[in-house]
Amino acid sequence: MQSRVEKAVETFESGYGCAQSVFATYADLFGMDAETALKLSSPMGGGIGRMREVCGAVSAMALLAGLKEGNTNPSDEEGRERIYLLVREMSRRFRERNGTILCRELLGLDGMEQSAKPGKRTKEYYAGRPCSRLVACAAEIVEEMLAIAPLQNGENVIE
């Protein structure tokens, strides 16, 4: 399989948020265009609106799980349980590898940022944060859990 993990990291390191980088890297496999994927996932960055809650990369995993296995019938309790179980397992794997799924804990912060304004993206910014590694971890879990497989022409597809 041709992995997209490096593409997710490159997307992040080109200036996009953590959630955008994971979500937009795989959204085309579900028929979503890049602009829509970037818009939809943009508020999830910085632990949802830079509040430093659930890591944006984890939120992106949940959104991708929803595209693959999401429930569309409000009376399908088994379907709802299946998607919740999938998201819980993806989150468990992320937590097992990183210690937590909370942005502030991953960054070693005490709480929510006072400002919603993101920091300038510089070499120092990327070097001082674990976010590139966290984006890679989330992308790896997406590939493990959502069964992304290659087509004959080298393009990925969801099984």
17: left (phi over 0), alpha (psi -120 to 50) or beta: beta
Per-residue model confidence (pLDDT) at position 159: 56
- Under the banding of pLDDT at 50, 70 and 90, the label for residue 12 is very high
Q: How far is CA 84 from CA 54, 90, 91, 133, in A?
A: 16, 10, 10, 25
Dist. CA 105–CA 28, nearest whole Å:
31
Per-residue model confidence (pLDDT) at position 2: 75
- Looking at the predicted structure, is the pLDDT value of residue 144 above 80? yes
In terms of pLDDT, which residue wins out, 65 or 119?
65
Give the residue-averaged pLDDT of 130-136.
97
Reported as a single tens digit per residue, the pLDDT across 107-122 is 999 888 888 898 888 8
Dist. CA 22–CA 148, nearest whole Å:
14
Dist. CA 159–CA 101, nearest whole Å:
27
**Average model confidence (pLDDT) across the chain:** 91
Per-residue model confidence (pLDDT) at position 151: 42
Give pTM, 2 decimals. Answer: 0.90
- Looking at the predicted structure, is the pLDDT value of residue 152 above 50? no
In residues, how long is the chain? 159
